Amino acid sequence: MLKVHFAPNSRAGRIVWLLEELGLPYELNKMAFHPKDLKSDAHRSRHPLGRVPVLEDGDVRIFESGAIIEYIIERHKNGGLKPAPHDPEFPAYLQWFHYCEGMVMPPVNIVVVNTLLLPPDRQDQTALAQATRLLTKVLEPVNAALEGRDYLAGDFSAADIMLGHACFMSNRIGSVDDSMTALKSYIGRIENREAFKKAISIR
């Protein structure tokens, strides 16, 4: 059985969401989002930097949420969530799948660190302001791409799990402007998916 090493309010939620969407059985190792768990010797043996998610599948151990998602849908896809290479939506799928970590999550990380993780006396307000502006800017193409569409690449796909989760996080920290109506509606659709509700509710 697939085993997911998980901490709440992290990218590990993407993996649980995917597994729920696919109806695949899995086991969770729930840890606190705290150094006592993530930086423990036991967890560093799974991930050298003490981060989540980590997936175990028999003798296979793999980290990085995007890599884990690609691994699962190739080896255990149980119905897909990825357009075929000849599908006209395949280029958009690839683009938005990778846009998540390439463009959206770097400023999200800076905002989260300088508002939630660091004590006030260590927060960098300059970095926070720059990241907030950048996050709004990088979300604008996503909003434009969603005009007249329910999802990023035709039917719901793993690109929506990657980037949809990042958009949800961006909205939760107040970085999705009300003028981005297509993106706001998209986030609402994501939040209404039963698999997403289950994944995001795990504490």
Residue spans in the chain of domains classed CATH 1.20.1050.10 = 90-197
Local confidence pLDDT in tens for the 203 residues of the chain: 999 999 999 999 999 999 999 999 999 999 998 999 999 999 999 999 999 999 999 999 999 999 999 999 999 987 789 999 999 999 999 999 999 999 999 999 999 999 999 999 999 999 999 999 999 999 999 999 999 999 999 999 999 999 999 999 999 999 999 999 999 999 999 999 999 999 999 98
Query: Distance from first CA to last CA of the chain, Å, rounded?
Result: 21
Kindly state the helix (H) or strand (E) to which residue 4 belongs, with its residue range. strand 2-6
pTM listed for this prediction = 0.95
Residue with tokens 């996503």: 142
Superfamily of domain covering 2-81: Glutaredoxin (3.40.30.10)
- Please state which CATH number belongs to domain 90-197: 1.20.1050.10
Q: How far apart are CA 203 and CA 16, in angstroms?
A: 12
